[in-house]
Amino acid sequence: MSDKAYFGRRYMLSASHRLHSDALSDEVNRTTYGKCNNAYGHGHNYVVEVLVGGAVNPETGMVMNMVDLDKTVENTVLTRFDHTNLNFDPLFVKRVPTTENLCREVFQLLKDALPADQLSYVRIEETENNFFQYEGE
């Protein structure tokens, strides 16, 4: 029997973005992204849900110390993206900051910062009604 368990935590960040692809004409951008293509951008309170999984440490009873996860997410994700315009982040200079792409980038940043094989998925809720989830390749 495996003793793997999962631990999830939710974080919030407020950021703005504009969906616009340089590979598309202005007109196609407009029809593809609609109001999300408005020139000055708009914003969201994104909820970032992080799930980590692993064996329960017999000494602590934990999959991972919540304090450590908080620190990692704060340092690698929240400090970087909270109260910013995503389009100006180097990661999104050549990539549209859709929440799909944000989700993949956040996953990669956290994967690199957390102990190997601990990150299970990253889910980002853009509004109460839509969310995106990435579990790696």
Partner 1 sequence: MIELTRRATFSASHFYWNEEWTVEKNEQVFGRCARRNGHGHNYTLEVTVAGEPDPVTGFVVDLKWLKDVMEREVLDAYDHRHLNMEVAEFAKVIPTTENIAIAAWTRLAGVIGQGVNGTAVAQLSRVRVYETPEIFAEYRGGQ
Binding site for partner 1 (CB under 8 A): 12, 14-17, 35-36, 38, 40-45, 82-85, 87-88, 127-128
Instruction: Give the Å distances, CA to CA, from 130 to 17, 46, 100, 109, 123.
Output: 16, 10, 11, 22, 10
Which is the catalytic residue, given 20, 83, 128, 135?
A: 83
Nearer to partner 1, 11 or 52 (CB): 11
DSSP calls for 64-114: S-HHHHHHHHIIIIIHHHTTEEGGGSGGGSSS---HHHHHHHHHHHHHHHS
Nearer to partner 1, 70 or 118 (CB): 70
In 3D, which of 69, 68, 76, 60 has the Cα closest to residue 109? 76
Nearer to partner 1, 38 or 57 (CB): 38
Q: Is 103 a catalytic residue?
A: no
Least distance in angstroms from the C-beta of 4 to partner 1: 32
Least distance in angstroms from the C-beta of 22 to partner 1: 18
Helices (H), 95-135: 99-113
Matching residue, tokens 């009873």:
61
Nearer to partner 1, 4 or 10 (CB): 10
Q: Is 59 a catalytic residue?
A: no
Q: Is 126 a catalytic residue?
A: yes
Which is the catalytic residue, given 49, 126, 128, 137?
A: 126
Give the residue numbers annotated as catalytic, written as ranges: 36, 83, 126
